Amino acid sequence: MDKIRRLTAEHMVIAKRVAPHVHSFIEIDFSAIDFIRAESKERWASQGARVSYTAFVAWAVSRVLREFPTVNSTISGNNIIYRGNVNLGMAVDLNPGLIVPVVHDADHLGLVGIGNKIVDLATRARDRKLVPDEIQGATFTITNPGVLGTLVGLPVIPKGTAAILGTGAIEKRVVVVTDPDTGTDSMAIRKKSLFSMGYDHRIVDGADAARFLARLKETLETFPNDA
């Protein structure tokens, strides 16, 4: 094992041994996000900005975590520590290996800011140019196995956090949609993705996770144009 693999192995064993893992799932419709991406493509290009689907997810997660402090917390002995900062760990594939740089205070960044930060951290992670502070202090983690075509994953909760979000592949699917005016149903093609959330059952209950995921779904499917 090289150093990264050895540290990853040690970390995963501790994480699985300490935290009782539970996973919940939800399906996300990316239609609203696709509309914003198409509408903003030229403007972002002129700014040199790179706003991926992951940036939208990170922005939404950072805002929803404010409403669910338990999901952003950690355990110390018999105490629960509620963190005031929202620091998102963003898993980066090094092929081989994995590293999780951190977007600190993500809830204070706009959509473009988060998008640029993710690209910068991922690029420097692959070039082995991150500094220690940039891989420490995560309060919640996002991992994206979907970028390689995986439909859904069951990620391990990093030590010191209460939850991790796994985003599956975004694919076109035939779905039933209901007309809000007439109430009639019809078939349509939508871009959909399955999200999984692994959470520490010592802190987060199933109902807490369900409410968090439902709010995340609502935020992503009605994404604000001024984010």
Of 11, 21, 23, 201, the active-site residue reads 201
> Is 205 labeled as catalytic in the residue annotation?
yes
Listing DSSP states for the chain in one string gives --HHHHHHHHHHHHHHHHS-EEEEEEEEE-HHHHHHHHHHHHHHHHHT----HHHHHHHHHHHHHHH-GGGGEEEETTEEEE-SS--EEE-EE-SS-EE--EETTGGGS-HHHHHHHHHHHHHHHHTT---GGGGS--SEEEE-GGGGT-S---PPPPTT-SEEEEE---EEEEEEEE-TTT--EEEEEEEEEEEEEEEETTT--HHHHHHHHHHHHHHHHT--TT-
201 noted as active-site residue: yes
Task: Show which residues are catalytic.
Answer: 201, 205
